[in-house]
Structure formats: structure tokens, C-alpha cells
Amino acid sequence: MFKAVLVEKDEAGYRAGVTELDEAALPEGDVTVRVAYSTLNYKDGLAITGKGPVVRKFPMVPGIDLAGRVEASSHADISVGDAVVLNGWGVGEGHWGGLAQLARLKGEWLVPLPAAFTPRQAMAIGTAGYTAMLCVMALERHGVTPAHGEVLVTGASGGVGSVAVALLAKLGYTVVASTGRPQEAEYLTTLGAAEIIDRAQLAAPGKLLAKERWAGAVDTVGSHTLANVCASMKYRGTVAACGLAQGMDFPSSVAPFILRGVTLAGVDSVMAPRAERLEAWRRLAQELDAAKLELMTHEIGLGEVVDTAAALLEGRVRGRVVVDVNR
Ligand code: NDP
């Protein structure tokens, strides 16, 4: 038997709670992992509360991330005892996930735990941090350098935002952090933000084109915020868009793209190819300051997951949440 968060949906409604499950109930897979830590991302919040259509099969063990040790394997490249990390691939959505003491998965989904990180640190990073790195890599790929000018991070106090601020600052960019939480200004400055702006400046419907300000941007918010960010990009700037915390809509126009050569670079972590994942983790090991990671992280046990998921969706959680699945 093992402990897990279980999401159920039936006549009694949508609900999530910690329960004991039989190992025999685990889904198919060629690798079984003894989970040490998992995390809570925005998507986990949606899955656990039912506020978004994330879970595709019930009952579901949520958790799009996990770090642990291989307990059994019939995969040629993965051995018992290997330390591994999993992010995405639909785990926690259509296949039982990481908010459990045990997981059975496809070996091809796993990447080795980077030597630079403990399992807890890898989960403090989690999908949010790995996505922040994918966003930074997208800006780099499109030629945004620190010399081009200020870069904006929206949803800056959240998980993706916090890691993006820390990474961009470390790489020498002048980072402007957009947040709805002025009380987190000191936190964001410590992570490396040069300036804090109120997210209200970006949240309402705006002009098709605004004054050019940003050389690059990481947007975790979507909707009017993303439209306003695109409208205020400098000539040939790039926006890495990964999130929808304000909304899934994109009420923009082609003006920034056809008149200013702006690039909108979409970032998806779930199905990102393995080579890109390995590169993102290699870069995280190189660029992410361990003290800043610790500053943005707080730890909970499995029993606190459901309440914390609700708090996260309400914007009451700062930075990253790491889950010790064994307490
Ligand atoms: P968090 O909840 O940790 O962060 C989201 C942040 O967005 C909040 O902290 C808040 O920041 C801001 N925010 C929340 N609500 C609103 C609103 N109504 N209007 C404007 N800003 C708002 O989530 P994560 O960091 O885990 O994820 C961020 C987004 O990125 C999510 O939408 C998530 O689904 C997406 N995502 C996408 C991935 C991909 O592969 N494309 C992978 C990972 C995440 P503040 O208080 O500072 O304003």
C-alpha cells in the first residue's frame, strides 16, 4: 500500500483527498519510482480543485512532477536505484502522477536527476522552473541579449515568474517584474528584479500599439496582459508566452507583429522533446542560484496539498511549493 492524493469525480461530485492505494492499482509502465518529492504547479491546482479541465481520467493521482529513485525497471537504459526526475508528458492529467509515494511510468519520460540538485531542489524547480528556463532559452534563440534593454516578467511572484526573474537577472538582463502583490517587492528585488510594476497597468484592454519598452518578455498571464505586452515590445523584440493565469484569451491584433517585427514564441513544457529538457536542466544547474531557489520555496506534506492547491489558484502562494510525499 502507498499514500497518494486521489481526485475523484462521480455522482457525489468532484473531490480530492489523501488516501491509501494498493500497488496493484498502479497504471502500466516499465519503470516504478519510489517518489521522494513532488510539487504544486498552477496546473496541479486546477486538477485538484476541478477549476480547470486538466484531469482526463478518474480516479486520478494528480502531480505533473516527481523526483525519486527507481524501484523496478524493465527499461534498457534505466536501472534500479537511479535517481530520476519527471516533468509533464500528461502525467497527473491522463496517467497517475507524482503526488504519491509510488509511481509507475514510461521510462522514456524520465530524465536523470542533475548532479547539481537534490531531489527536493529538483522539485523546488519543478515544471514551473523548467518552463521558466524554456522561456529564457526561447528569448535567447530569438536573439534577445542583455544589451537590447529591459525584459519584463509577468506573474512575477508565482512559480514560473520567480524562477524567470532569478534566471534572467543572473544572465545579466535588466528585469522588470510585474506583480499584483506590492508586498512582494522586496522578495522580487532579492531575486534580481531591477524594478517592480503593478500588474494593473497591463491587465485592462489597451491600445493596439503602445510606447516601445521591452526587448524581451516572459508572460505567464495571457489575456489582456499578453496583448498589452506585445503592444509595448521594442522593434524586433520577443515574448515567450507560457501561461494563462489571467485568461486563455488573447485579445490582440497583428500590429506588433507586422509593424514592429515582434515575435510571439510559444512555450510548452509538457511535450517538449527530450533533448530540450536535458538542455533546460543543464542550464538550470548552471544558472540558478541555490540560495534564491531556497528563498522562493516552501515545503508542505501530502496532507496539506488540497488546501494549498486552492490557495495557489487564489494567488496566495509565493514562488514554489515542494511536497514531501512521505510526511
Ligand atoms: P502560480 O500560481 O505560481 O503563478 C501565477 C501568477 O500569476 C500569480 O502568482 C500571480 O502573480 C499572477 N496572476 C494570478 N492571477 C492573475 C490574474 N487574474 N491576472 C494577472 N495575473 C495573475 O502559477 P505557475 O507559476 O505554476 O504557472 C504560471 C502560469 O504558467 C499558469 O497559467 C500555468 O498554467 C502556466 N504554465 C505553463 C506551462 C507550459 O508548459 N506552457 C508550464 C508551467 C506553467 P502576481 O501575484 O505576482 O501578480
Which residue, among 102, 101, 106, has the nearest Cα to 88 in the 3D structure? 106
- Of the candidates 210, 247, 249, 205, which has an alpha carbon nearest to the alpha carbon of residue 230? 210
CA atoms of 163 and 1, how far apart (whole Å): 36
For residue 237, the 8-state DSSP code is: E
Cβ-Cβ contacts under 8 Å for 64 (sequence gap 6 or more): 41, 43, 44, 87, 88, 91, 92, 93, 97, 98, 127, 270
Which ranges of the chain have pLDDT less than 50?
Answer: none
Classify the phi-psi angles of 35: left when phi > 0, otherwise alpha if psi is within -120 to 50, otherwise beta: beta
CA torsion angle 184 186 188 189 (round to 10) = 160
Neighbours of 107 (CB within 10 A): 18
CA–centroid distance, residue 125 to ligand 1 (Å): 15
pLDDT at residue 320, as a whole number: 98
Residues of the chain with CATH 3.40.50.720: 125-266
CATH 3.90.1150.10 fits 2-113+296-324, yes or no: no
Looking at residue 192, what is its pLDDT?
98
Query: Whole-angstrom Cα distance, residue 311 to residue 247?
Result: 18
Residue 62, preceding peptide bond in cis (omega within 30° of 0): no
Q: Are 151 and 176 in contact (CB under 8 A)?
A: yes
CATH 3.90.180.10 residue ranges for the chain: 2-113+296-324
The residue assigned the cell 500528461 is: 90
The CA 78 to ligand 1 mean position distance, Å, reads 34
Atom of ligand 1 nearest to the CA of 160: 25
Write the DSSP symbol of residue 243: -
Other CB atoms within 10 A of residue 235 CB: 11
Provide the 10 A C-beta neighbour count for residue 210: 14
Instruction: Give the per-residue pLDDT at 311.
Output: 97
Please report the pLDDT score of residue 200 as a whole number: 98
pLDDT at 216: 98
pTM: 0.98
Probe ligand 1: pick from 221, 244, 300, 320, max atoms within 8 Å of CB?
Answer: 221
Residue ranges around ligand 1 (CB below 6 Å): 41-43, 127-128, 131, 155-161, 179-181, 199, 203, 220-221, 225, 242-246, 267-270, 312, 315
Third-level CATH fold of 125-266: Rossmann fold (3.40.50)
CA distance 188 to 78: 39
Q: What is the pLDDT of residue 208?
A: 96
**Probe target for ligand 1 pocket from 39, 41, 54, with the most ligand atoms within 8 Å of CB:** 41
Distances (CA, A) of 53 to 14, 59, 243, 256: 12, 14, 15, 32
pLDDT of residue 199: 98
Q: Which residue, by CA, sits nearest to atom 3 of ligand 1?
A: 158
DSSP reduced 3-state for 222: strand
Give me ligand 1 centre to Cα 321, in Å: 13
